[in-house]
Amino acid sequence: MSIWVLRGLRDGVVTTRWPAKPDSYADDWRGPARPLDAPDPGGLADLTDLCPTDAITVTDGTVRVDQGRCILCGRCVTERPGVFAWSQGATGPAAFTREQLIIPELPETDAAVQAARARLAMRTRALHRSVHVRHVDAGSDGSEEWEIQALLGPVYDLHRLGVFITASPRHADVLLVTGAGARGMSGPLRTTYDAMPDPKVVIATGTDAVSGGLLAGSEATTGGVGATVPVDIWLAGSPPSPFGILNALLIAVGYLTPAGRRSR
Amino acid sequence: MTMTQPDVLALWKELEARVAAGDRFAGLFATRTVEGQAVTLSAHVATAGDVDTLGVTLPPGAAGYPALTPRIGAAFWYERVIHDQFGLVPEGHPRLAPLIRPGYPLPRHVEGYGVFTIPHGPVRSGIMESIEYLVETPGEAIPHLNMRVFYKHRGVESRFTGLTLSDGVLLAERTEGIASVAHALAFCHAAERVAGCEVSPAAGLVRVLHAELERIANHLDVAVRLADAAGLAVATARMALHKERVMRLVSRMCGSRFGRGVVVPGGVTALPRLSPADLRAELDKLSRPIAADAAALMATSSFLDRLRGTGPLTPARARQHGALGPIGKAAGFADDDRMARPYDAYPALGLEPGRAHSAGDAMARLRVRWEEVDSSFGLLRRAADDLLAERAADQLRVPCEPPSGRAVGWAEAPQGEVLYDVSLQEGRIAGCHPRSASFHNLVLMHEVFAGDILTDFPFIEASFGLSVAGVAL
């Protein structure tokens, strides 16, 4: 046993200081695609056929990307570098409403976001500094589970923030749902949600959970988990990075504001 | 309805003879291109150096066919899937319950005083993929285990139909997300065989780099789960740290922690963003601590006591089933695609067969994984060196736009061989049938609980190291 004591000390502290201090791995992270502020007019033809998940729309000359559909394949960034770029930073694409993931923002989004955020803040006020999280896989490809699991490792160490994974939904405050919404999981997902005490928060974790991703059109899925449980935080990414999941968790319970500031 | 179908029987007899002669049964699936048309059954046989496809078309309107499972037991789950998808009845199949479609009652196999069933899943404790285990137990021993895998069925197979090749590879990467690179490789190998194109040496090297890093990350994940099951907190943290470092190296190379977006039909999208010299340095920084911690883990007796003799698969069963990947290797049946049917840069890099094992237990499976990690680092170093020599001399992506045709592609995932049967029509996918090692191997979990008890369950599950996403496509 003693060999493990020494091995545990070998690398010193490897845990990130984020969110108290910036972390370069989080800041350098390549997020979903976004349209450039001033797109090159020469690159606007046939844009909608470009994206495998139909995330790109053009209305009245404005190019929009629905990051909730973006699977980060990068085709638009590679083929139309004058119109699209990667978004930067792991903590970007977490939203209070589904529409908030559409970049640039639609006209009516801001008011809805503020309202949703206020409602969520009211509900989560009672959670204080101890939050228990339950995870349900509703048809993921397996990668989202790895990224959530990473939060329990020494690098991200969820526990230092007072957030714990719990086995029983009866003890859970937050439900992390992954996967495209496989119909076989609709029942178990709903049962888990119903078993959680109020107040409860649901995070759709990853592009698959938000919109179904590439499996949106499949008859075996509901095209995202929003059809089965009411979602409070929509987190894009295929899969989202561990920092992205951590950020969504902290926003959900009000530790962080979307701008990255500590709220309490 | 009993039908005499000499064609089907003749094919089954041929299959049986070939398997008896040393070939490996690698899969069976059914297709129907147009609604209402006849169904075609296709079987895959892995031979020395290739994978053959044998097919037979059933008479139009056939409601069933003589089952293959009584002759080749490994077809057990494959025929249940065919029944789920087409309603075809394989006559003589031992248990034709749905597999990927929901809806069958709790089965019960063991009767006796005090025997009860523990339903475990689909929502289980911890961060797990959804699957339901039904453990029939008198309290401690596990005389029978049942699995229901349909919860995660996502309709991946039918989603492939109609996609272009460049969209198809994106879906292949998400078929079994923890083996993205291997799935993309198998898909692209099939497309490249249809097109008859050959990827450049540099592209082959980049492919090997990503495939081997994926293998290391997966094997470290198994080590994390085993150490966690044994309650070794420091070992769990150390293995998780190594896994995170490997995934960060992958993301520095290509922008994705799972190596996505690199492998495309005809080659790769880009060289690693790290220079081969930097990559060499990173590999050295990773490999030594991993080897040291692995050695410490394999010298921790409280850990080894839990693995030794746990969940044994006999060599005879491994051979009979054609067990893939580390599960097969641990039981003396090693059919590694990288050596038996090499692709990309593997023939040039050279890979020596690993040590022979025969215990078939969780310990042997972990030993195989550490040996594979070791040989992967060797391959990675050689690939990085070769890339330094090749760099910029080569085209990374050759044109690969086959109009029509059908071919099988394969790749050795961390879990074992991944097989893709792809048919193309006018540049689009007319049918794509992925077969993951997870699907082929998971059925073996029924058979490995000889003498093991409830507390051995997490060790056996973790030592299999499979992904549910690849099972119920």
What DSSP character marks residue A174?
E
Q: How confident is the model at residue A105 (pLDDT cuts 50, 70, 90)?
A: confident
List chain A residues with CB under 8 Å of B302. Answer: 1
Q: Do A184 and B102 touch (CB under 8 A)?
A: yes
List chain B residues with CB under 8 Å of A154. Answer: 237, 240-241
Three-state helix/strand/coil letters over chain B: CCCCCHHHHHHHHHHHHHHHCCCEEEEEEEECCCCCCCCEEEEEEEECCEEEEEEEECCCCCCEEECCCCCCHHHHHHHHHHHHHHCCEEECCCCCCCCCCCCCCCCCCCCCCCCEEEEECCCCCCCCCCCEEEEEECCCECCEEEEECHHHCCCHHHHHCCCEHHHHHHHHHCCCHHHHHHHHHHHHHHHHHHHCCCCCHHHHHHHHHHHHHHHHHHHHHHHHHHHHHCCCHHHHHHHHHHHHHHHHHHHHHHCCCCCCCCEECCEECCCCCCCHHHHHHHHHHHHHHHHHHHHHHCCCHHHHHHHCCCCCCCHHHHHHHCCCHHHHHHCCCCCCHHHHCCCCCHHHHCCCCCCCCCCCCHHHHHHHHHHHHHHHHHHHHHHHHHHHHHCCCCCCECCCCCCCEEEEEEEEECCEEEEEEEEEECCEEEEEEEECHHHHHHHHHHHCCCCCEHHHHHHHHHHHCCCHHHCCC
Q: Token digits for A66? A: 């629905």
Nearest beta carbon to residue A218 from set B154, B247, B289: B154
Q: Within 13 Å, how many C-alpha atoms sit on residue A14's CB side?
A: 16
Q: Tell me the C-alpha distance between B248 and B335, whole Å.
A: 31
Is A113 near chain B, with CB under 8 Å? Answer: no
Is A12 near chain B, with CB under 8 Å? Answer: no
Q: Tell me the C-alpha distance between B472 and A2, whole Å.
A: 43
Residue B391 confidence (pLDDT) above 70: no
Q: Which range (B30-34, B188-192, B332-336) has the least confidence?
A: B30-34
Q: Which residues contact A58 (CB under 8 A, 6 or more apart)?
A: A44, A47, A48, A64
Give me the residue label for tokens 């293995």: B239
Q: Stretch A77-88: mean pLDDT, rounded?
A: 93
Strands B416-425 and B405-413: antiparallel
Q: What residues form DSSP beta bridges with B120?
A: B133
Strands A233-235 and A201-205: parallel
Cα torsion angle, B85, B91, B93, B98, sign: positive
Q: Stretch B156-173: mean pLDDT, rounded?
A: 95
Nearest beta carbon to residue B170 from set A148, A153, A214: A214
Nearest beta carbon to residue B154 from set A71, A189, A220: A220
Residue B209 confidence (pLDDT) above 90: yes
Is B64:B90 a contact under the CB 8 Å cutoff?
yes
Is B425:B25 a contact under the CB 8 Å cutoff?
no
pLDDT for position A259: 63
pLDDT for position A107: 83
List chain B residues with CB under 8 Å of A146. Answer: 177-178, 221
Q: Do B122 and A185 touch (CB under 8 A)?
A: yes
Tens of pLDDT, residue by residue over A163-209, are: 999 999 999 999 999 999 999 999 999 999 999 998 999 999 999 99
Residue B422 confidence (pLDDT) above 70: yes
Residue B5 confidence (pLDDT) above 80: no
Nearest CA in chain A to B293: A7
Mean pLDDT for all residues in chain A: 91
B401 vs B204, higher pLDDT: B204
Q: Token digits for B188? A: 């692209």
User: Of B418, B454, B455, which is closest to residue B176 (Cα–Cα)?
Assistant: B418
Is B442 near chain A, with CB under 8 Å? Answer: no
Crossing angle (nearest 10°) for helices B201-229 and B233-254: 160
Q: Stretch B42-69: mean pLDDT, rounded?
A: 92
Distance from CA of B268 to the nearest CA of A (A): 13
pLDDT for position B107: 66
pLDDT for position B13: 95
Q: Tell me the C-alpha distance between B71 and B88, whole Å.
A: 18
**Whole-Å CA distances, B143 to B75, B76, B428:** 23, 20, 48
Q: Tell me the C-alpha distance between B371 and B312, whole Å.
A: 19
Q: Tell me the C-alpha distance between A173 and A202, whole Å.
A: 9
Nearest CA in chain A to B295: A3
Tens of pLDDT, residue by residue over A23-46, are: 999 999 999 999 999 888 888 888
pLDDT for position B4: 47
Q: Which range (A130-134, B106-110, B424-428) has the least confidence?
A: B106-110
Give me the residue label for tokens 């391959």: B379
Q: Stretch B206-216: mean pLDDT, rounded?
A: 98
| pTM beyond 0.90 | yes
Tell me, what amino acid is at B226? L
Is B293 near chain A, with CB under 8 Å? Answer: yes
Q: What domains are there in chain B, each with its CATH number?
A: 6-91 (3.30.460.80), 156-438 (1.10.645.10)
Tell me, what amino acid is at A191? T
Q: Tell me the C-alpha distance between B346 and B208, whole Å.
A: 7
Cis peptide before B272 (omega within 30 of 0): no
pLDDT for position B390: 73
pLDDT for position B2: 37
Element (H, E) at A207: helix A207-211
pLDDT for position A264: 46
Longest Cα separation, chain B? 72
Q: Tell me the C-alpha distance between B251 and B196, whole Å.
A: 31
Q: Do A214 and B155 touch (CB under 8 A)?
A: no
Give me the residue label for tokens 């799972």: B258
**Whole-Å CA distances, B162 to A221, B29, B120, B157, B305:** 18, 19, 38, 11, 52
Strand order across the beta sheet in which B405-413 lies: B405-413, B416-425, B428-435
Tell me, what amino acid is at B83? H
Q: What domains are there in chain A, each with its CATH number?
A: 24-90 (3.30.70.20), 109-252 (3.40.50.12280)
Nearest CA in chain A to B167: A52
Nearest CA in chain A to B218: A146
Is B270:B260 a contact under the CB 8 Å cutoff?
no
pLDDT for position B3: 42
Strands B64-66 and B89-91: parallel
- Selected residues 120-159 of chain B with any CB under 8 Å from a CB in chain A: 122-123, 125-130, 150-156, 158-159
Mean pLDDT for all residues in chain B: 93
Tens of pLDDT, residue by residue over A227-249, are: 999 999 999 999 999 999 999 99
What is the CA angle B302-B360-B338, rounded to 5? 115
Q: Token digits for B44? A: 């895959």
Q: How confident is the model at residue B191 (pLDDT cuts 50, 70, 90)?
A: very high
Q: How confident is the model at residue B195 (pLDDT cuts 50, 70, 90)?
A: very high
Residue A37, number of CB atoms within 10 A of its CB = 7
Q: How confident is the model at residue A154 (pLDDT cuts 50, 70, 90)?
A: very high
pLDDT for position A91: 79
Q: Tell me the C-alpha distance between B250 and B274, whole Å.
A: 10
Is A218 near chain B, with CB under 8 Å? Answer: yes
Distance of CA B328 to the CA centre of its chain: 12
Q: Token digits for B54? A: 């044998």
Is B463 near chain A, with CB under 8 Å? Answer: no
Element (H, E) at A4: helix A2-9
Q: Do A153 and B240 touch (CB under 8 A)?
A: yes
List chain B residues with CB under 8 Å of A182. Answer: 130, 151-154
Is B369:B222 a contact under the CB 8 Å cutoff?
yes
Nearest beta carbon to residue A188 from set B151, B158, B467: B151
Q: How confident is the model at residue B108 (pLDDT cuts 50, 70, 90)?
A: confident
Q: Stretch B377-402: mean pLDDT, rounded?
A: 86
Prediction ipTM score: 0.95
pLDDT for position A255: 83
pLDDT for position A84: 95
